[in-house]
A and B are shown apart, each in its own frame.
Chain A
């Protein structure tokens, strides 16, 4: 161990202190919303306390009980699970081909999968016409299939494959294994860190599905959670609909709008917390793999 000078000790203390303040800054917005989600009554949010004035789990009860809230939640869970697993499979397999630099056409694949699509899009009208021709309008599949293959994710996975020593694959090849077997037996199990990272990316992407749901989904039963969340958070009223929406929702849930102190802000706060929950729960477990995966994937490009 090296000895530390006084200056260094002072620096360390200051540094720790800095990170404590930093963490508070990171947490403040979330703690504030957490407070609002537990607080019933309108005037209460005007004080400096970060604890609710009137504590109540009412908003969370509303989230759990109200069909228009939990159904979009379940829809999002569904498309996230199906979307992430299929997307991961497709990209992991495809990336193996990309990792073969000597394969004729491998450069062309990159142009085909990444460069051109990134630069040129046909716009919403042609895309909409396509979805309609494929019969995808108003089906969950429209939220999953078009987002399934991702050139960028394939590149990240490919870069990780490059870092795996080829000697392992080579010995398998000598034993007569074909590329497909080599990939599934040898490469894939070793690529867990990058796959964990990509799974997180893709999963978050599906979890946040928003624009596609607004444009292609027609049935109220099939909307995703962010759509509902935005309906709650950003009520940019242009007419009486706004007011009546909130009243109708309260009535449907058994509240008399004029007599209750529940607010749209409170409910949307609770929904924000609920929407963050999955990531808060899952991330710490993926974190370890994540750093390794993302690091190799990005740098070795």
Chain B
């Protein structure tokens, strides 16, 4: 048996086995139209997707598959064409994404807000600060442990922009500043374990189950508002993108029905999102 025919025989053998195996363990995939949407951890952690997705499925017969990642990775997925659209919250990065031609346009959908969490004793005394920047300055002055996402996510970028506003360089901070390079939940777990300060989106915080001694200490500064925007991936770069379905989804997300669902969504009696799409 020659080498090439041997290789061919092996290839055929592996292929047949693969087909048989995947056939035997029949796939559990859904049959409706599917669409892949990269969303941020905070959006998914809020639980809002559990309300919206079934309704979308009902109204549009569309299975929206969520890829839950940080904003940085979400935009990368869009750039590579591995998803059909992204729903993220980091304006500067979104605009760079559009400028490079990776997306067709940016549609604002809704916003929620970031909050500052810390030990219930509040050793830095940030509760009742005049602004978010002032609160961060107090934390830096007290050199109390602070956990940063450090993962290039929208939340992380927001936090870094606030330090900048406070005229401080987060890269030069001492060991009290811990960049953990993890998602919101994992970072909250870390903060809870170290009893440290942390900035979180409100939804993730409310849904978080391992609060320990942590407490919401500061919120409400308009600078902490967190705008979510929907960006379809450019079909000129990636012809496989389901443009028509993406458009249907965008129409639905900006519809009065979505407005009501988003505005009415509450956790423990607290309103989380404000719908602000322009129609």
Please determine whether chains A and B interact with each other in the same assembly: no
Binding site for B on A (CB under 8 A): none
